[in-house]
Amino acid sequence: MAATASEHPRRLLRGFVSPELCKELEFIHRSCGTVGYRPSVFSTTLPHLAATNCAHLILPFLPLRDRLKDTVEDLFGCEFELFVEFTGLISWCKGACIGWHSDDNKPYLRQRDFAAVCYLNSHEKDFNGGLFHFKDGEPSSIAPTAGDVVVYTADERNVHSVDEVIDGERLTLTLWFTRDSAHDEDAKLINLLSQRLLVEHIEPKPFLPLPASSCMYWLAQEKSGFDVRCARVSILGYDFCPSEGKCSMNDSPCDPLELLDGRLYLGRGDEVLDKEFVNSLHALQVVQFCGWKAAELATEREVHRAGSTRPTVLKRSNNLELLVPCDYKLGEAILGGISRHDPKPSFSWDDLVLGIARWEEYMSELHRKLLILIPYWLSNHTLSFVDATELL
Ligand SMILES: O=C(O)CCC(=O)C(=O)O
Ligand SMILES: [Fe+2]
């Protein structure tokens, strides 16, 4: 039965997103996300990835984005009519909720025709609360499960709400589709990417991230607040340490959050790894990559342990602390969740050093493919996914 046959055109698609892709998108969100548009909400949009020198991280979204558009067109009988209007990773943390609404309910949202919400993690495993409800019709309630997707029309036939998240981080990939070509996300992205292509890639590592303005990472709450980059590394047991010669809060009047834009080290307990990162996003991406690939890195370390040299680790001293005005407790209360209580794998700096190398391979491969795909996208005016090797 086509979804259009019902009074409430909608469909729940079980297991639509593979567990591997759920994890990869979680990695991207935790290493690139910014503070979102509502309290306790974080988001990673495709234009944001392009603007922070991470356009190559758009690639993992594309096969799923294409498949969702085809599925929505098929289910709702509008083949070749739709454009993607918005694609974003959105996480809701402790305290986030939304009351009854339809997704086209504001004048500036009228172009939205259909929604697809992909659940990337699971109720009761990764977060509590956050159940989805439709006001009328079936299914009436959905407990998010990693891999499931709910698609529905964005109009008043599908008024819905989301219960408050009690703890953990509830992660979705949300897309809206439109019939109005003026709101085609691809056209905007291609424009951004073509501008970037004009910038000659002479850097040896063109995939290194570039932080956005520090206010985009700052979550303010009453008299307190935290930088989401600092909070996320802290939840994994690390902190940022200043690079030699950089000011610290003690001896310089400069804005301490600006230190997160420059070179820094990673510390853990009373140790600091003797490896400079170009900025906080670079270090955060590596740390999140190591979390994503923890099992593979541990296995690889076992295999290579004999011949490898130990990484240089410094003892922390007073000038190896980056004092940013970050309320870590608040960050942990909002971002930390039930999955944090999983047994932690034993820590080794060797894994981090191996992770740095594997992170570089992962990013440089995506970047290589991106450079092949951009001219193809420019001539096709769409961001569709193709095997980059076929274009060579
Ligand atoms: O995350 C969800 O389950 C739905 C979110 C929602 O309703 C919205 O963003 O408009
Ligand atoms: Fe909604």
Q: Which pLDDT belongs to residue 75?
A: 97
Closest atom of ligand 1 to 92 CA is: 1
Q: Which pLDDT belongs to residue 302?
A: 79
Structure token pair of residue 63: 């096969």
Q: Chain centroid to CA 165: how far? A: 19
Closest atom of ligand 1 to 150 CA is: 3
Rounded Cα–Cα distance for residues 390 and 367 (Å): 16
- Which of 172, 173, 175, 177 is the best mutation target for the ligand 1 pocket, counting ligand atoms within 8 Å of the beta carbon and taking the most? 172
Rounded Cα–Cα distance for residues 350 and 294 (Å): 12
The arithmetic mean of pLDDT across residues 269-288, rounded, is 95
The arithmetic mean of pLDDT across residues 173-197, rounded, is 93
The arithmetic mean of pLDDT across residues 275-281, rounded, is 96
Per-residue pLDDT of 302-316, as tens digits, reads: 777 666 677 888 888
Rounded Cα–Cα distance for residues 98 and 368 (Å): 40
Q: CA angle 37-67-206, nearest 5°?
A: 65
The arithmetic mean of pLDDT across residues 3-13, rounded, is 85
pLDDT at 141 over 80: yes
Q: Which pLDDT belongs to residue 195?
A: 80
Tell how far the Cα of 161 is from the centroid of ligand 2, in angstroms: 7
Q: Picking from 73-87, 115-129, 227-241, 373-387, which range would have the lowest pLDDT averaged per residue? A: 373-387
Rounded Cα–Cα distance for residues 390 and 392 (Å): 6
pLDDT at 1 over 50: no
Number of the ligand closest to the Cα of 133: 1
pLDDT at 339 over 90: no
Rounded Cα–Cα distance for residues 221 and 47 (Å): 26
Q: Picking from 104-108, 304-308, 332-336, 355-359, which range would have the lowest pLDDT averaged per residue? A: 304-308
Nearest to 54 by CA among 29, 21, 37, 18: 29
- Which of 119, 153, 162 is the best mutation target for the ligand 1 pocket, counting ligand atoms within 8 Å of the beta carbon and taking the most? 162
Average pLDDT of the chain is 90
Would you list the domain boundaries of the chain? 3-206+368-391, 226-362
The arithmetic mean of pLDDT across residues 97-106, rounded, is 97
Ion ligand 2 residue ranges (Cβ < 5 Å): 103
Task: Supply φ then ψ for residue 153, to 5 degrees.
Answer: -75, 150
Q: Which CATH class is domain 3-206+368-391?
A: mainly beta
The arithmetic mean of pLDDT across residues 282-308, rounded, is 87
Q: In what order do the strands lie in the sheet with 132-134?
A: 98-101, 160-162, 132-134, 141-142
219 vs 204, which has greater pLDDT? 219
The answer to whether 165 and 128 are in contact (CB under 8 A) is: yes
Residue whose structure tokens are 């932690």 = 344
Nearest to 285 by CA among 334, 342, 236, 335: 236
DSSP label at residue 184: -
10 vs 300, which has greater pLDDT? 10
Percent with pLDDT over 70 in the chain: 89
CA nearest ligand 1 atom 3, residue: 132
The arithmetic mean of pLDDT across residues 125-135, rounded, is 97
pLDDT band at 198 (very low <50, low <70, confident <90, very high): low
**DSSP helix/strand/coil, 290:** helix
Q: Chain centroid to CA 189: how far? A: 17
pLDDT at 266 over 80: yes
* DSSP code per residue over 155-166: SGGG-EEEPPEE
pLDDT at 78 over 80: yes
The arithmetic mean of pLDDT across residues 246-268, rounded, is 74
pLDDT band at 205 (very low <50, low <70, confident <90, very high): confident
The arithmetic mean of pLDDT across residues 342-364, rounded, is 87
Rounded Cα–Cα distance for residues 9 and 102 (Å): 13
Per-residue pLDDT of 155-168, as tens digits, reads: 999 999 999 999 99
pLDDT at 263 over 80: yes
In this structure, how many other beta carbons lie within 10 angstroms of the beta carbon of residue 178? 23
Closest atom of ligand 1 to 130 CA is: 3
Tell how far the Cα of 44 is from the centroid of ligand 1, in angstroms: 15
The arithmetic mean of pLDDT across residues 2-23, rounded, is 90
Number of the ligand closest to the Cα of 162: 1
Most confident of 44-53, 215-224, 345-354: 44-53
Closest atom of ligand 1 to 160 CA is: 7
DSSP label at residue 204: S
Q: Which pLDDT belongs to residue 318?
A: 65
Per-residue pLDDT of 46-69, as tens digits, reads: 999 999 999 999 999 999 999 999
